[in-house]
Chain A
Amino acid sequence: MLWLYLDFYQLTLDMLAPIQTELRVQPCIIYRADTNQVLQCNALAHAAGIESGMGMAQAASLSGELNIIDYKEQREANHLTVLASALYPLIGDIVLAPPNSLALRLDPSIKYYEGLQPLWQTIINELTRQKVTYRFATGWSIESAKVLAKAKTNTIIAKRTDIHHALQQCHLKHTDLSTKQITSLSRVGIHNIKSLLALPATELGKRFDNALISYLTALRGEVFPHCSYFHPEETFSATIEPAYEISQTQHLIPWVNRLLNQLATFLRLRNQLTASLTLTLYFRETEKQIYQVGSACPLSKASNWEPLFVLLIEKLTLSHPVTAIGLCTNATEEISDQSSDFFSDRVHYFAKMQLLGRLQAKLGASNICQPASINDHRLGQLAHTQASAMLSEPCAWQPLFIASQPVLLTQPSHIQFGPVRLQTGWWDGESVKRDYFITQTARGEYALVYKSPPAEQWYIEGWYG
């Protein structure tokens, strides 16, 4: 067997750099708060003396203009799947090692590529296209290839003697042994694999548990632990988390494009099309917002989908900064002559979707909503919030209809209830300080009115059913 191990040691940075230009011009680190460790750093951060494994205090003291991006394991794991999907057409035997590594079994594919080097060159081409940085190595098992990759060997070798020789040079810290086991071994002078492998297994067995012995046999290529191969998902669903929150809609477009490109790859590999996509925007403080984008006829290319999304995004107003963007297919279909059949029953469905998609794209999703209440004292927020956001029980005096903009009260009315004083919302720039009353107008309508200081005018906020 011959395995290739690819260690994408700065996957988050690679993933974000093409879109976020500041990552290329400023020192930047990927930081894991729970362990207080710098996990990845760009070249400029390296130049400032920052290294992986440092704590925040030290890193911050070395660079005064440091960009810090929170590490999210899931974000890396998601992108790893994208990479695996991209490599899948080239080589079928892929094992995921989340969050940031892949193992590829090369030996069954060598003959199709007429040799190891052409195969490796094909893999390199795809990885270059994906714009990722990686360490790599080959070995007779996943374990041995992993050790060699972690030790930054960066060589493609197939001969057993060469692999054996390279392995012997590796330090124990590159193995999967626990820190405790490595410490235990170094305290008796064993620091590298050569020393470790020189000891008889029986002697090691007296001192260490079976897991260590099993690992060593795997490292030697004597046994091959069971592994699960990667199989691409049946449906497309991807989420991308930019390093920074996005508060301007035009900044959403590059990220959506990236997702559309991933979708296009996905669909092309499966010979599929889709006529409807779901775009999900995630916010830190409020619930996610979901938008459906439909097309009259099924599409696959990113370039076809992009104008529809641009149309949608241009109309959007972001009430809160976006933290993540998700895209998924609702249904896919095989590319065939039937797909373009407009005369079957599906026409109504597509027409509806098309109409909805166009309406949403033209008018904005916020104009298509249903009755709801939100978890906020400010009733005015209802007029600006998606139906799905932070639902809660309505309060007793909440009217059924809320005006999108308060309406000037022009007719004489009688106060029936109140006052209810609201003084809140100081934190988001929509501060409210009002006394509300329920009044009955001369026409018998019940309205929720308020007088907000210092204005002397009364306004109607909503009506009761």
Chain B
Amino acid sequence: MVYSELYCQSNFSFLNGASDPEELVNTAAFLNYQALAITDECSVAGVVRAHAEIKRNRLPLKLIIGAAFTLAENFSFLLLCSNKRAYSELCRIITNARSRSAKGEYQLAEWDIKSVRHCIIIWLPSLHKDTDHHWGTWLQRYHSQRCWIGAQRLLDGVDHQRFTLLTEYSETFSFSLCACTGVLMHHAKRLPLQHVMHAMRLHTTVAQIGKAALSNAERTLRPLNKLKKLYPAGWLEETSKIYQLCQFSLDELKYQYPQELVPAGYTATSYLRECVEKGIKKRFPEGLSVEVRETIEKELKLVKEQAYEYFFLTLYDIVQFAQRQGILYQGRGSAANSVVCYCLEITAVDPRQISVLFERFISKERDEPPDIDVDFEHEKREQIIQYIYQKYGRQRTALAATVITFRFRSAFREVGKALGFAESQLSYVLKNINRRDKALPWQSQLSQCGMDPSQAKVKQLIALVEQIVGSPRHLSQHVGGFVISNGPLHDLVPTENTAMPERTVIQWDKDDLESLALLKVDILALGMLTAIQKSFDLLNKQFPHSVDIPFITRLGDDKQVYDMVCKADTVGVFQIESRAQMTMLPRLRPRCYYDLVVQIAIVRPGPIQGEMVHPYLRRRHQLEPVIYPSKEVESVLGRTMGVPIFQEQVIQLAMVAAGFSGGEADQLRRAMASWKKNGRLYEFQEKVITGMTKRGYDKHYANQIFEQIKGFGGYGFPEAHSASFAVLAYVSCWLKYYFPVEFYVGLLNSWPMGFYTPSQLVRDAQQHHIKVLPICINASAIAHEIAYMGTEKAIRLGLTLVKGLSDKGKQCIIERRPAPGYQSLAQIQQLPLIRSDLEALASANAFHQIADNRYQSRWEMMDEQKSLPLFTNEPTQQNFHFAPTSIENLLEDYAATGLSVEHHPIALLAKQRSLDRFSWSNDLINKANKSFVRIIGCVTGRQAPGTASGVTFMTLEDHTGNINVVVWQSTARHQQQPYLKANILQVDGILERSPEGVIHVIAGKLTDRSDWLTKLSVPSRDFH
């Protein structure tokens, strides 16, 4: 007996299907099905995974592409793709149905189905005689030749009635009957999960679904001998006929990039070569070395063989547009491994500076599209997106999808609710579970939170949460992955609306695109590019010579810039600004560009968990010898002193030391990228270890390498990626060192971005002896600006910092500002500004030139009569006698602008109280190592990284700088109130200075001093 299951929904029929496409095809093949149709509801989102799984495991199973639909109440059916034209038809129908509705929904029109010419229709009658007769007649009229009736036998008590009716319909409408199940689970054990998903869909509990729930587990893939007992033989044979008709495979999808980019008279290859040659002249004005020329030729040959020319040309066109618009961009990802990308000005990393691993970029063996990510200025990325939409049109352009899956927290909450746990109990448990505790998994922590794991209900919760984590929840849009095609995209894949207007998203994510070898272009946004461009703009106004990234990199490594970096004076610069990076800088002491590449990659969970940091530092400072177990390993790890720092190094190690082929090595890379999700990395464990031991490496070393591979899983940086980031890190450091005013202004004007708040950036500028001028109604522009005080440059804060001031208000103030400036509050009240704008300006003390009491200014601005012409000259009542104290001024500064240029909270406290026994940040350098210190500061950061086993790093800020405080877990546990609640914190502790001069205070006693300055709200970056 042969059988094809024609009606099967995966978990991409969200909150209905309880098995993933991979499980379904594996089980169907195991049960000897001929074919399995994945028919998710108005979606083909799961089919690529099924297709890839069949290919990966070489399963003897045909995948039929289809979808299930409901057109009206009591009218549901399946559409199955017989051939490529039917597939395009299905994509068009789904696209149309989705485009009529909001995200996540669909609406079919009768016309959609009337116009079907190629798809096979399986009608699923509702067993309501009246409506079935109506729709049966309708189908007979339009689709008498391509319609079947799908008969389900579900042992639910209505089989008899169902069979009788369906046989009657078959005779009445002359449609053949075929057996089908309506599979929702690959195995009966998924029934509880299906019930839970059903309850989630209805926002109720499993106990409350009642008879609407599945009454048994028959909607599963059932063995053939069982099916034989359940259905008449003819109905089963009919599935085989349909199987014969369905000849379409996703392998047939051929994708064409836009052709219009190639000018007349050129082929894509010749035009790409011409662009590259043009780029060579620009990138290598001194001429090419033989080695680089060879690499370029090798790359171009491979590009031609793989027919990727259009892909490169599309990107070239986009970056050319960015150049014309003066938008700063930089390619990153594996593209930085390509010299062709460098010549096309897609990337900025000179291949001579890093070890280019072209196989990482394009590999003929793995036959997968290259990965090119391009970052653009975050404020101007929309221009690039609009350019793409305008050039190619919405029909040919869409964003890739991102499949949002159940994470632990959402799974725990939603499954818990479905099982009937109280929401407050679930919230409490979630708040108390420490997912970073490696010693105690979350399941074991439940008893501490009042959930008894021996109770049946809690056991069910644990099992179901484990099952559902990783299942898709809904589709979202990728941050910037575009698919652009030559013809309408809906011939290739359905598109649907996104939550953002005027955007469409395809139903496949980046892994699906990769599986089908479809190309996507990543258009990403990066705040630092905006900041750098704004700094360049300020410089280019002052100097005749244009300053840009190539200009700075051509100057070579600058000793003074690296001196600054080694002192960890890196607040605001790119990547090496975080606290962990700043602590590492004096230890690693970067002195050249490549050191920065290492620095960026080393402070990552991969190298930290793989315990590679200390060996690298010891070897770098010649405290231990650099040894290699073999020449091959030396060739891979030579540039990082025998310690793997970059992701591709561990891949190369797998190749040279464990004998992986290029393709296998790439499979390893993909397994590393997703090992947290599916754990496929373990499939490689034996191969790595036996491969290495066979080649003479000792087992301990082999195990260590595998542990390092695991450490990199999901967290490692590829060298090329780090190299691209290092360029921006260096450029931002260079700007900070030579043009700090321009740097800070650029940075402040690009906010929100980066690690630091404007308050911290302003404080850092002041500590670099830069004068920061407050917001002024007569002097400030909208943005922050450079102000000149004689020859000295200062920063003038802009109106943009005033909280609650509308954009229209800012414009109005600037446009109507008289030449001598505003002279009185009455004059300002005559401006067409809304009252909240006036009040916001008063509280920000923007009127300080014309009124010295911000309370009084605001009081006057609150009087709406004053804005009426009749009352303009009305004298102000002298009955308001409130004036702010210096502390109130400080509080108002923070409330109105988020920072204070005049006062620091700690400086004010020092004036008010005797704080002689305290040490300030800038005193600590003079204190002896291991001495007792008492410090106080505003808490600006609390971080408990997963790699730091319970230690919290706190940052305290006083008026002289930042202090790094280390709080051990036991200290935190015993002093939880000040540890968690303090805004202003006193720490009594021991000063610890590393040999490189990095100072930490190890907290002993924590005292909350927030009551010394109530109402102060200093933004703190807690536990990010």
Q: List residues of A whose CB falls within 8 A of some B CB.
A: 31, 33, 49, 56-58, 60-62, 64, 66, 68, 70, 184, 187-190, 195, 199-200, 203, 206-207, 284-286, 374-377, 390, 392, 395-397, 417, 419-424, 426-429, 435
B residues 853-900 in Cβ contact with A at 8 Å: 855-856, 858-859, 862-865, 877, 879-880, 882-884, 888, 892, 895
Question: Within the complex, what minimum Cβ distance (angstroms) separates B353 from chain A?
Answer: 46
A421 touches B207 (CB 8 A): no
Q: How far is the CA of A168 from the CA of B882 in the complex (A)?
A: 16
Q: Which of A187, A200, A419 has the most CB of B within 10 A?
A: A187
Report the nearest A residue to B866, measured CB to CB.
Answer: A206
Q: How far is the CA of A420 from the CA of B162 in the complex (A)?
A: 13
A428 contacts across to B, CB distance below 8 A: 207
Report the nearest B residue to A320, measured CB to CB.
Answer: B207
Question: Within the complex, what minimum Cβ distance (angstroms) separates B412 from chain A?
Answer: 15
Q: How far is the CA of A187 from the CA of B841 in the complex (A)?
A: 12
Number of interface residues of B (CB under 8 A): 59
The stretch of B272-280, B419-427, B619-627 in contact with A is B419-427
B420 touches A395 (CB 8 A): no
- Taking a contact as CB atoms closer than 8 A, the residue among B211, B428, B839, B888 that contacts A377 in the complex is B211
With A285-B205, A421-B216, A422-B216 as contacts: A56 and B427 at CB distance below 8 Å = yes
A-B contact sample (20 more), CB < 8 A, given A49-B976, A422-B215: A58-B981, A60-B431, A61-B980, A62-B980, A66-B428, A70-B423, A187-B892, A188-B859, A188-B880, A188-B882, A195-B882, A200-B877, A375-B211, A377-B210, A392-B210, A423-B216, A424-B213, A426-B191, A427-B192, A427-B419
Question: Within the complex, what minimum Cβ distance (angstroms) separates A35 from chain B?
Answer: 12
Q: How far is the CA of A421 from the CA of B981 in the complex (A)?
A: 58
A68 touches B424 (CB 8 A): yes
The stretch of B153-161, B291-299, B376-384, B766-774 in contact with A is B153-161
- Taking a contact as CB atoms closer than 8 A, the residue among A61, A184, A375, A396 that contacts B862 in the complex is A184
The proximity string for B residues 759-785 relative to A, scoring 1 for CB distances below 8 Å and 0 otherwise, is: 000000000000000000000000000
B156 contacts across to A, CB distance below 8 A: 420-421
With A33-B424, A189-B884 as contacts: A392 and B855 at CB distance below 8 Å = no
Q: How far is the CA of A396 from the CA of B217 in the complex (A)?
A: 20
Report the nearest B residue to A59, measured CB to CB.
Answer: B431
Question: Within the complex, what minimum Cβ distance (angstroms) separates A292 from chain B?
Answer: 27
- Taking a contact as CB atoms closer than 8 A, the residue among A190, A285, A377, A421 that contacts B208 in the complex is A285
B207 touches A64 (CB 8 A): no
B residues 432-483 in Cβ contact with A at 8 Å: 432, 448, 456-457, 460
Question: Within the complex, what minimum Cβ distance (angstroms) separates A364 from chain B?
Answer: 23
With A31-B424, A49-B976, A188-B858 as contacts: A375 and B155 at CB distance below 8 Å = no
Q: How far is the CA of A195 from the CA of B855 in the complex (A)?
A: 13
* Residue B486, interface by CB 8 Å: no
A70 contacts across to B, CB distance below 8 A: 422-424
With A187-B858, A420-B156 as contacts: A49 and B215 at CB distance below 8 Å = no
Question: Within the complex, what minimum Cβ distance (angstroms) separates A278 from chain B?
Answer: 25
With A31-B424, A49-B981, A189-B884 as contacts: A377 and B155 at CB distance below 8 Å = no
* Residue B218, interface by CB 8 Å: yes
A61 touches B211 (CB 8 A): no
Question: Within the complex, what minimum Cβ distance (angstroms) separates A126 from chain B?
Answer: 33
* Residue B206, interface by CB 8 Å: yes
B981 contacts across to A, CB distance below 8 A: 49, 58
Report the nearest A residue to B856, measured CB to CB.
Answer: A188
Question: Within the complex, what minimum Cβ distance (angstroms) separates B481 from chain A?
Answer: 34
Question: Within the complex, what minimum Cβ distance (angstroms) separates B157 from chain A?
Answer: 4
B424 contacts across to A, CB distance below 8 A: 31, 33, 56, 68, 70
A62 touches B976 (CB 8 A): yes
* Residue B708, interface by CB 8 Å: no
- Taking a contact as CB atoms closer than 8 A, the residue among B210, B431, B855 that contacts A56 in the complex is B431
- Taking a contact as CB atoms closer than 8 A, the residue among B192, B211, B432 that contacts A395 in the complex is B211
Q: How far is the CA of A195 from the CA of B188 in the complex (A)?
A: 72
B839 touches A187 (CB 8 A): yes
Report the nearest A residue to B836, measured CB to CB.
Answer: A184
B residues 186-208 in Cβ contact with A at 8 Å: 188, 191-192, 195, 205-208
B161 contacts across to A, CB distance below 8 A: 396
Q: How far is the CA of A384 from the CA of B399 in the complex (A)?
A: 55
* Residue B977, interface by CB 8 Å: yes
Q: How far is the CA of A102 from the CA of B869 in the complex (A)?
A: 49
Question: Within the complex, what minimum Cβ distance (angstroms) separates A9 from chain B?
Answer: 20
5 closest A-B pairs by beta carbon, nearest first, are A375-B210, A189-B882, A421-B155, A49-B977, A60-B431
Q: How far is the CA of A374 from the CA of B207 in the complex (A)?
A: 12
A189 touches B855 (CB 8 A): yes
B460 contacts across to A, CB distance below 8 A: 426-427
A429 contacts across to B, CB distance below 8 A: 456
B207 touches A427 (CB 8 A): yes
A435 contacts across to B, CB distance below 8 A: 155
Question: Within the complex, what minimum Cβ distance (angstroms) separates A380 from chain B?
Answer: 14
* Residue B843, interface by CB 8 Å: yes
Report the nearest A residue to B429, measured CB to CB.
Answer: A60
Q: How far is the CA of A424 from the CA of B219 in the complex (A)?
A: 13
Q: How far is the CA of A270 from the CA of B3 in the complex (A)?
A: 79
Question: Within the complex, what minimum Cβ distance (angstroms) separates B923 from chain A?
Answer: 31
A207 touches B863 (CB 8 A): yes
Q: How far is the CA of A286 from the CA of B419 in the complex (A)?
A: 14
Report the nearest B residue to A206, measured CB to CB.
Answer: B863
With A49-B981, A206-B864, A377-B213 as contacts: A68 and B425 at CB distance below 8 Å = yes
Report the nearest A residue to B199, measured CB to CB.
Answer: A427
Q: How far is the CA of A420 from the CA of B161 in the complex (A)?
A: 13
B892 contacts across to A, CB distance below 8 A: 187
A-B contacts, 7 of them at CB < 8 A, read A61-B431, A61-B980, A70-B423, A285-B207, A392-B211, A424-B215, A426-B192
B215 contacts across to A, CB distance below 8 A: 377, 421-424
With A49-B976, A189-B882 as contacts: A390 and B428 at CB distance below 8 Å = no
Q: How far is the CA of A390 from the CA of B858 in the complex (A)?
A: 61
B888 touches A189 (CB 8 A): yes
Question: Within the complex, what minimum Cβ distance (angstroms) separates B961 from chain A?
Answer: 29
- Taking a contact as CB atoms closer than 8 A, the residue among A57, A286, A374, A423 that contacts B217 in the complex is A423
A200 touches B211 (CB 8 A): no
Report the nearest B residue to A58, measured CB to CB.
Answer: B980
A203 contacts across to B, CB distance below 8 A: 863, 877, 879-880
Q: How far is the CA of A190 from the CA of B883 in the complex (A)?
A: 10
Report the nearest A residue to B457, measured CB to CB.
Answer: A427
A187 contacts across to B, CB distance below 8 A: 839, 843, 855, 858, 892, 895
A61 contacts across to B, CB distance below 8 A: 431-432, 976, 980
Report the nearest A residue to B154, measured CB to CB.
Answer: A421
- Taking a contact as CB atoms closer than 8 A, the residue among A58, A62, A206, A423 that contacts B865 in the complex is A206
A419 touches B155 (CB 8 A): yes
B863 contacts across to A, CB distance below 8 A: 203, 206-207
A423 touches B191 (CB 8 A): yes
B206 contacts across to A, CB distance below 8 A: 427
Report the nearest A residue to B161, measured CB to CB.
Answer: A396
Question: Within the complex, what minimum Cβ distance (angstroms) separates B361 from chain A?
Answer: 44
Q: How far is the CA of A49 from the CA of B864 in the complex (A)?
A: 45
A188 contacts across to B, CB distance below 8 A: 855-856, 858-859, 862, 880, 882
Question: Within the complex, what minimum Cβ distance (angstroms) separates A360 from chain B?
Answer: 27
B980 touches A424 (CB 8 A): no
Report the nearest A residue to B209, measured CB to CB.
Answer: A375
Report the nearest A residue to B864, measured CB to CB.
Answer: A206
A207 touches B864 (CB 8 A): yes
Q: How far is the CA of A199 from the CA of B877 in the complex (A)?
A: 11
Report the nearest B residue to A377, measured CB to CB.
Answer: B215
A68 contacts across to B, CB distance below 8 A: 424-425, 428
Question: Within the complex, what minimum Cβ distance (angstroms) separates B947 from chain A?
Answer: 21
Question: Within the complex, what minimum Cβ distance (angstroms) separates A399 from chain B?
Answer: 12
With A58-B980, A395-B157 as contacts: A421 and B218 at CB distance below 8 Å = yes
With A60-B432, A190-B882 as contacts: A390 and B976 at CB distance below 8 Å = no
Question: Within the complex, what minimum Cβ distance (angstroms) separates B4 from chain A?
Answer: 24
With A187-B858, A421-B218, A423-B188 as contacts: A56 and B428 at CB distance below 8 Å = yes
